[in-house]
Amino acid sequence: MASMELTAKNFEPTITSPGTVFVDFWAAWCGPCRNFAPVFEAASEKYPDITFGKIDTEAEQGLAAAANITSIPTLMAFRDGILVFSQPGALPAEALEDLIGQVQGLDMDAIKKDIAASATA
């Protein structure tokens, strides 16, 4: 499955749906963003069970501001609606592969339990 364009309209329903979602915040004028784009797209083709979305920070300035994006590219990963990774900078293919494996391997029951415990503390 190729990456999809995310906008203010479809961002929240996409990231809160069950499963894994990777989001690439980018801009056309950004050299590192252009270099990372084929790496991100290749991963989207390799992992059809994961949602890969791209947010053009120029077209979606409000969304980028709401996500506190201060540097691009920024990559975020969500599992079952929970932000589990956020980092600026372009990743090489091997690092993205490793990150995908780590995100897929997370014990979400434990993470949800930790979130619930910290909410009541």
- Token pair belonging to 73: 């590219």
Q: Please list the active-site residues.
A: 30, 33
Q: What is the CA radius of gyration of the chain?
A: 14
- Give Cα separations from 83 to 29, 42, 75, 96 (angstroms): 27, 22, 11, 16
**What is the C-alpha to C-alpha distance for residues 3 and 46, in angstroms, rounded to an integer?**
11
